[in-house]
Amino acid sequence: MRYLAIVTVLAALIPTTSFAQVADATKVGAINLSYVARTCKVGKEGLARIDDAARKKASEVEAKASELQNAQAAVQKAGLGLSERALADLQRAFDKSRVELDRMQQDAKAEIESMQTQFELEFRAKLEPAIEEVSKEKGLQFVFGIEQAAIVWFSPAVDISDEVVKRLDASK
């Protein structure tokens, strides 16, 4: 009977011990992808191109909006002494300009979004090997993106963002 009790206790301890050993062997890392993109050379360059294009498009849209405001003021001033037909022609021209402005805004937005998507794809292609190298060096089994995962707390010691930035900068 005593032998059975010892075997039962040992059997209960063996799975717990092996599970604890497996759990201890699991190493996890975390990375702040937006930090890496804003900090590494390739990320800074790509984001600067997007920002420059966005500023240029915004300037073009603002110029067109200013023209439209001027045209509206001209329609209002000229409308006092014009025939109904001439006034209708001016209104049509104004409406056409308004539609052109709306299209210009939509096109600008679509172009910037396309640039952002392209940057993300190209950046991810360069980022993945750097993450893999750092992860292998640190013996990590998992790396979580801090922004995407539902991480409530993490130790800054597992954050590999700075090391990935260094690796990306060194790969150029």
- 3-state SS, residue 122: helix
Q: How far apart are CA 13 and CA 18, in angstroms?
A: 9
Over the stretch 104-139, which tens digit does the pLDDT of each residue have? 999 999 999 999 999 999 999 999 899 989 988 988
Q: How many CB atoms lie within 10 A of CB 130?
A: 22
pLDDT > 70: what percent of the chain?
80
Over the stretch 63-73, which tens digit does the pLDDT of each residue have? 999 988 887 88
Question: Residue 46 above 70 pLDDT?
Answer: yes
The rounded Cα 78 to chain-centroid distance in angstroms is: 49
Confidence tier at 83 by pLDDT (50, 70, 90): confident
Confidence tier at 172 by pLDDT (50, 70, 90): low
Q: How far apart are CA 110 and CA 108, in angstroms?
A: 5
Given this model, what pLDDT does residue 88 score?
A: 82
DSSP state of 158: G
Given this model, what pLDDT does residue 86 score?
A: 79
Measure the CA angle with vertex 141, ends 137 and 143; round to 5°: 85
Question: Residue 151 above 80 pLDDT?
Answer: no
Given this model, what pLDDT does residue 53 score?
A: 97
